Amino acid sequence: MSRPALEVAQIFRRHGLEYRKNHRLSRPQRQAMRDIEQCRTARLGGHLDVCSQGCGYLAISYNSCRNRHCPKCQSLKQARWLAARRERLLPTRYFHLVVTLPHDLQPLARGHPELVYNLLFEAASRALLQLARDYERLQAQIGFTAVLHTWDQDLNWHPHLHLVVTGGGLSLDGDRWIAARNSYLIPVKALSKIIRGKFLEALKKAWQEGKLQGWGPPAQFHGFLRKLRRKKWVVYAKESFGGSHQAFHYLSRYTHRVAISNQRLVSLAAGKVTFQARDNHRPGHKRLVTLTAPEFIRRFLWHVLPPRFVKIRHYGLMAPRNAKTKLEKARALLSLQTPGPMSEPQNREHDT
């Protein structure tokens, strides 16, 4: 891949100092800016590559910052993650699910990101495991990997989870593999309601324990909960085609992606940043988005995660504690089955 004409680091170097003077940043945000500005520069040091054959070739390679929000430091991590996950793949169909946090919760997520993100993971995972276990057309122990994203194509605040889920699971007694029927895994409307219920229950508990400081009087919070109970939580589900390897290759596009890649940047001129975004009204086409440099930096920094926050999590059969037990039992049972034909797609793939 050719080197991009513009990088996030260049935008930070040109406008970051002024932005930091005029805006209050969290420690992780300052660290991310500093690391991205210094990535692969002499400020981080480097090493000299010399030809061993004596041809005289010399090349300086500067060190990477290794910050997980840096657009230049994710490709190798992505490749290593994908290689590790392939060792735990099951020879079965997979489904792609997306669970989106309602817009009304976004201000709360900005003020208490770690709490809200953890509640989203917890509610979605518990609801999915419960419904797969109780749904009469499945009644199985499934496995899945969930990845948090917080942005949309315009860098707006848009927290959501991407999940890759096994197309079936172990029977509740663990003696057989139960495959999902056709291209249908679980009813998404029911899943949406269960996620909403579990999230709001946990949110209420967090408020009672004093974890939502500055929210206001009890009447205000309970009114907020009533409003959220009437909201429809958006849940998307579709079978992922191309087999298990393709399913996790698709998910790897999300695991180590940052808010915007350098390849999407077009220009930095007159204090404005222009970048490409997908055109949802014209599939396969791109559109241009132009923001002032301060607004671009502000939106980018929205998506800096809390320190040590785990954005990739594994559940059910894929959970680390089940890697040597239930997962291997499922693999053994699947190896005895003859794979059937892939079903036809019913919906377009969703990508945010």
Contacts of residue 219, defined as CB under 8 A and 6 or more positions apart, other chains included, come to: none
In the structure, what pLDDT confidence band is assigned to residue 131 with cuts at 50, 70 and 90? very high
Q: What is the mean pLDDT of the chain?
A: 87
Q: State the average pLDDT over residues 330-334.
A: 94
Helix (H) / strand (E) element for 148: namely: strand 143-151
Q: Is the pLDDT of residue 254 over 80?
A: no
Q: Residue 248 in contact with residue 86, Cβ under 8 Å?
A: yes
Backbone angles phi, psi at 129, to 5 degrees: -65, -40
Tell which wins on pLDDT, 322 or 50. 322
Taking only the tens place, the pLDDT of each residue in 139-188 is 999 999 999 999 999 999 999 999 999 999 999 999 999 999 878 899 99
Query: From the CB of residue 37, how many other CB atoms can be counted at a distance below 10 Å?
Result: 20
Give the pLDDT score at 209.
Answer: 93
Taking only the tens place, the pLDDT of each residue in 294-321 is 999 999 999 999 999 999 999 999 999 9
Q: Is the pLDDT of residue 228 over 60?
A: yes
Q: Is the pLDDT of residue 342 over 70?
A: no
Taking only the tens place, the pLDDT of each residue in 81-98 is 777 777 778 889 999 999
Give the pLDDT score at 125.
Answer: 98
Helix (H) / strand (E) element for 171: namely: strand 168-171
Q: Is the pLDDT of residue 117 over 60?
A: yes
Q: Residue 107 in contact with residue 171, Cβ under 8 Å?
A: no
Give the pLDDT score at 1.
Answer: 55
Q: Residue 270 in contact with residue 14, Cβ under 8 Å?
A: no
Alpha carbon 281 to chain centroid distance?
Answer: 24
Taking only the tens place, the pLDDT of each residue in 47-60 is 777 776 767 666 77
Closest CA to 93 of 162, 164, 146: 164
Q: How far is the C-alpha of 126 from the C-alpha of 110, rounded, in Å?
A: 24
**Structure tokens of 156?**
């707006």
**Structure tokens of 227?**
């409003």
Q: How far is the C-alpha of 24 from the C-alpha of 29, rounded, in Å?
A: 10
Helical ranges in the chain per DSSP H: 8-22, 27-38, 75-86, 106-111, 113-134, 188-208, 218-229, 243-255, 293-302, 326-335
Give the pLDDT score at 346.
Answer: 36
Share of the chain above pLDDT 70, in %: 88
**Structure tokens of 329?**
């039992």
Tokens 């309970």 correspond to what residue?
222
Backbone angles phi, psi at 45, to 5 degrees: 80, 180
**pTM to 2 decimal places:** 0.87
Backbone angles phi, psi at 168, to 5 degrees: 140, -170
Q: Which residues pair with 98 in a beta bridge?
A: 162, 236
